[in-house]
Amino acid sequence: MASNVRPPGLLQRYREELQLRHYTRRTVKSHVHWLRRFLRLHGLRHPGTMGSAEVEAFLTHLAVEGQVSASTQNQALAALLFLYRELLDKDMELEGTPGLVVGLLYGSGLRLMEALRLRVKDLDFERRQWLVRDG
């Protein structure tokens, strides 16, 4: 018999992750509020399909149309940073070679072909660096 239990939605997972890290109730409530406003402004699109341009548009909207203070903008930004760094990064983790390449592209600024052409002899573990050829 198939289970009709749905996995928790984004807002619920976001709330649970905040609580798991022992954020106060007020902070959880505030962060969820800012996430909801962000999602509504962008037509309820999934945040995984949005990036820095949408975050910047949201913060600009708060400042210009909402006339909020800088500290309020910072609070909204903190809520979105938590979403992208702590929740969505975990969702987007890949395994194996594709995950390694994506991690290199994301974390180092390498171009795709630079990452794909890396060889073991290009890695210097003692100096914790690698050599990029024909960059």
Tens place of pLDDT per residue across the chain (135 aa): 556 777 788 999 999 999 999 999 999 999 999 999 999 999 999 988 888 889 999 999 999 999 999 999 999 999 999 998 888 876 655 556 666 677 777 677 777 777 777 777 777 778 877 777 666
Instruction: Look up the domain containing 75 and give its range.
Output: 10-91
Residue at 3 is within a domain: no
**In CATH, what number is assigned to the domain containing residue 42?**
1.10.150.130
Number of domains in the chain: 2
Q: In the prediction, which pLDDT does 4 show?
A: 73
Asked if residue 15 and residue 68 are part of one domain, the reply reads yes
In-domain check, residue 2? no
Of 31, 32, 51, 38, nearest in space to 92 by CA: 51
- Write down the pLDDT at residue 116: 77
Q: Give exposure, 29-61, as e/b (b: 16+ Cβ within 10 Å).
A: ebbbebbebbbeebeeeebeebeeebbeebbeb
pTM of the model: 0.65
Residue 119's pLDDT is what?
Answer: 78
The pLDDT score that the predictor gives to residue 81 is 92
**Do both 87 and 22 map to the same domain?**
yes
In a domain, 4, yes or no: no
Q: Domain check: are 38 and 84 in the same one? A: yes
Q: Is residue 69 part of a domain?
A: yes
What pLDDT score does 77 carry? 94
